[in-house]
Amino acid sequence: MKEKTTQELLQNLLSRLNLDEANPLSKVYRSWESIVGSELAHNTKLVDIKGKVLIVKTHHPTFSSMLQMKKRVIIENINKNYPELQINNIQIRISSQK
């Protein structure tokens, strides 16, 4: 079996953490605070992008409601900055873990 280079191992790790440059989620993740604002950014977590749906987790219904109220603006901001994603919806999940 061929040994992997450090670069290959690092790329594999970044990919598993959804932080590689090719992953569209990493682009949004890096700018999440500027997209939703400081308070929501610190109380929500990007989980995934499934098709054209952004999946976000929050630990409290209050932040879920705040996301819901800002949903249209958030989608517009994402599509303005990352038009290749063509996000058309946000799925909000409430989790007991922060």
Query: Would you say 9 and 2 are in contact if contact means Cβ atoms under 8 Å apart?
Result: no
pLDDT of residue 38 exceeding 80: yes
11: domain CATH number is 3.30.70
- pLDDT tens digits, 3-23: 878 777 766 776 666 555 666
- pLDDT tens digits, 50-60: 999 999 999 99
What range defines the domain where residue 49 resides?
A: 6-94
Tell me, yes or no, whether 70 lies in a domain: yes
CA distances from 62 to 8, 21, 71, 84, 91 (A): 42, 32, 14, 31, 15
Check the CA dihedral 73-74-76-80 and report its sign. Answer: positive
Tell me, yes or no, whether 42 lies in a domain: yes
Tell me, yes or no, whether 12 lies in a domain: yes
What pTM did the predictor assign? Answer: 0.74
Q: To 5 degrees, how large is the angle CA 48–CA 27–CA 65?
A: 50
Q: Give me the numbers of helices (H) and strands (E) for the chain, helices first please.
A: 5, 3
Token pair for 36: 């939703």
**Number of independent structural domains in the chain:** 1
Tell me, yes or no, whether 76 lies in a domain: yes
Among 48, 44, 9, CA closest to 26: 48
Tell me, yes or no, whether 1 lies in a domain: no
